[in-house]
Amino acid sequence: MRYLLLSVIFSIAFLVLSIWLPNLSFIKNTVFSTSLSPDRKMDILTASLWAIKTNFTPLSRTLAITTAILFGINFSLLVYYLKLKLEGAKAISSGLGGMFFAILGSGCASCGSVILTSLLGVSATVSLVYTLPLRGNEFGIASLVILGLSTFLLAQKINQPIACAPKVVQQPKS
Amino acid sequence: MFALKQKPRVEDKVEGVVKTASNTNINAEGSPFIGRADAPLTLYYWFDFQCSFCKQFDEEVLPVLVDKYIDPGKLKVIFMNYQFLGPDSQRAGIVGQAVWEASPENYPKWHQAVFQKQDNSNSGWGNEADIMELVRSIREINLGNVLQLTLKNETAYREKINRDKDEGVRFNIKTTPSVLIGGQVIRGAQPIAVYTEVIDSLL
């Protein structure tokens, strides 16, 4: 139950981050503004969450929501896994890879990806994104695949028994 | 669709460097705008003619801003070019400057007409002939004047478009639509309530 709640919290947090990502400075200025009343701040922040409707295409919206759900599950599984103190560099690294792609893809909503333009510049991003058949949503799909794989690997690791496997000692033939 | 009750006058054209509420200098010389030239608040709107989210902003947000703030004289919207999605965008941006110079009171109508014709990026509609045909379809605009101005000032208009984009880049604008109001940059097509809340807080 605790991990289910953790999944929900991290899914919502990731989705909110995806929506706010292009406007982090605006959100920060709103939160810390001394001229805005708390009510006004709350109105702006809640209204901006509806950008999931206005600033996303149906495909990018579906990808963002699905990625957020998978991200939440993946993250809580990772926490559970680390708590069991199991070693699993492979599962952890694929989980982090999925999270990286999820964040990279989440900026591909309005015209021009936020993260990609920061990495490649506006012109290079436009050239890259417009050669892709899904106009940059490929990053979102890649994140879904990697997060799905990571969740599967983590679930497998968690299902393995914690006890050490006994070593099989081969008796020398006499 | 938005319709201006109060049309911009030729003598109201934006000239020189404009200071925003936060005292940030923006070069908006020769930029099309709607609203009263001396409106207390200015919203700078960076757009690309091929951006579907800009179309959405034009069709859903601008009409509300016109009714609520522009017609009562509280707000002025300055159109800043950010034509980065290819040659069709650039072409429309150049002709747009000619339309503004030839017939500023009909610029909003032309601007919206381009968005209504929007299709897939750099394919189908959007070549020189298409754009001029669109100009011709708006009877109030003199096609001859627009053609003449486009031929005469193409280089200057292109430079103006690039200057607008550079101004946007100065404010870390990398996506369209983006607006600057009261020194705040708001990126992407946000819900109308975000813009109205911010404008109300500044008025």
**CB-neighbour burial class of residue B157 (10 A; exposed 0-12, middle 13-18, buried 19+):** buried
Give the predicted TM-score (pTM) of the model. Answer: 0.78
A130 at the B interface (CB within 8 A)? yes
What pLDDT, on a 0 to 100 scale, did the predictor assign at position A94?
Answer: 63
Return the minimum-mean-pLDDT range out of A28-32, A164-168, B70-74, B75-79: A164-168
A50 at the B interface (CB within 8 A)? yes
- Give me the sheet containing B178-181, strands edge to edge: B33-34, B75-81, B41-47, B178-181, B184-187
- Min distance A85 CA to chain B CA atoms (Å): 43
What pLDDT, on a 0 to 100 scale, did the predictor assign at position A100?
Answer: 67
What pLDDT, on a 0 to 100 scale, did the predictor assign at position B9?
Answer: 44
Bigger pLDDT: A26 vs B3: A26
Q: What chain B residue is nearest to A53 in terms of C-alpha separation? A: B191
Q: Which range, A97-106, A126-135, B4-13, is most confident?
A: A126-135
A45 at the B interface (CB within 8 A)? no
Name the percent of chain B in helix, strand, coil, to the closest 5. Answer: 50, 15, 35
What pLDDT, on a 0 to 100 scale, did the predictor assign at position A170?
Answer: 66
Rounded CA separation B122/B62 (Å):
25
Bigger pLDDT: B170 vs A93: B170
Nearest to B85 among A26, A111, A117 (CB): A111
Name chain B contacts of A110, Cβ cutoff 8 Å.
51, 53, 175-177, 187-189
Name chain B contacts of A43, Cβ cutoff 8 Å.
193, 197
Name chain A contacts of B51, Cβ cutoff 8 Å.
110-111
The average confidence (pLDDT) of chain A is 76
Residues of chain B with confidence (pLDDT) below 50:
5-6, 9-11, 15-23
* Complex ipTM: 0.76
What pLDDT, on a 0 to 100 scale, did the predictor assign at position B70?
Answer: 94
What pLDDT, on a 0 to 100 scale, did the predictor assign at position B10?
Answer: 42
What pLDDT, on a 0 to 100 scale, did the predictor assign at position A4?
Answer: 87
Judge: A22–B54 Cβ closer than 8 Å, yes or no. Answer: no
Q: State yes or no: pLDDT of A117 exceeds 80.
A: no
A129: confidence class by pLDDT, cuts 50, 70, 90: low
Output the DSSP codes for A95-136: HHHHHHHHHHHHT-SSBS-HHHHHHH-HHHHHHHHTTSTTTT
Name chain B contacts of A113, Cβ cutoff 8 Å.
175
Judge: A51–B176 Cβ closer than 8 Å, yes or no. Answer: no
Token match 């998978």: residue? A70
What pLDDT, on a 0 to 100 scale, did the predictor assign at position B80?
Answer: 95
What pLDDT, on a 0 to 100 scale, did the predictor assign at position B26?
Answer: 85
Nearest to A36 among B48, B85, B201 (CB): B201
A127: confidence class by pLDDT, cuts 50, 70, 90: low
- Min distance B186 CA to chain A CA atoms (Å): 6
A54 at the B interface (CB within 8 A)? yes
What pLDDT, on a 0 to 100 scale, did the predictor assign at position B23?
Answer: 46
Return the minimum-mean-pLDDT range out of A41-50, A151-160, B41-50: A151-160
Bigger pLDDT: A164 vs A141: A141
What pLDDT, on a 0 to 100 scale, did the predictor assign at position B6?
Answer: 47
Name chain A contacts of B187, Cβ cutoff 8 Å.
22-23, 26, 110, 114
Q: What chain A residue is nearest to B120 in terms of C-alpha separation? A: A130
